Amino acid sequence: MSTPDTSRFVRVRVDLVLEIDDEEAVTGAALQALAEDPDLPDAERARAERAVTEDTAEALAHLVDPFDLVGAVPGAALQQASWSSERIDYDPDAPEWELGEDDDYDGDDEGEGGGSRVDGEETTAD
């Protein structure tokens, strides 16, 4: 329950590891999403198309949108979101990959291959 001494804002952290088994499908879907975005300026579209063609992690960052996760949550309004994607070495049996192991979170996980959405407006990291 919220009291005057508690914030109404809640930070939700999600850490996903995806296995890409068809890089061409991911890249193709990202290119199609870019082509269908009527609000994307031509210069930004060209830059984004180059980036998603060169790096599957970048392509994935263009397809994953945190707003899609919470946009329909009743009684909540997304204020800000950031995300990034990167290629990693992954061993599901390694202790560092146990769920809930984000105690060293520094609050700045936006980077190359990511973007932000503030009040419904998306920006991409350069």
Q: What is the per-residue pLDDT across 95-118, written as a single tens digit (0 to 9) for each? A: 887 766 554 545 444 433 444 444
Domain count along the chain: 1
Residue 28 domain-assigned (yes or no) = yes
- Nearest CA among 59, 54, 75 for reference residue 10: 75
The answer as to whether 16 is a domain residue is no
Per-residue pLDDT, 34: 96
pTM for the whole structure: 0.65
Q: Let me know if residue 70 belongs to a domain.
A: yes
What whole-number percentage of the chain has pLDDT above 70?
A: 75
> Strand pairing of 80-83 and 121-124?
unpaired
In order of 47, 48, 76, 125, the CA distances from 16 in angstroms are 26, 23, 22, 19
Domain extent at residue 36? 23-97+109-124
User: Would 53 be classed as within a structural domain?
Assistant: yes
Q: In a 3-state reduction of DSSP, which class is residue 21?
A: coil
Burial (CB count within 10 angstroms: exposed 0-12, middle 13-18, buried 19+), residue 45: middle
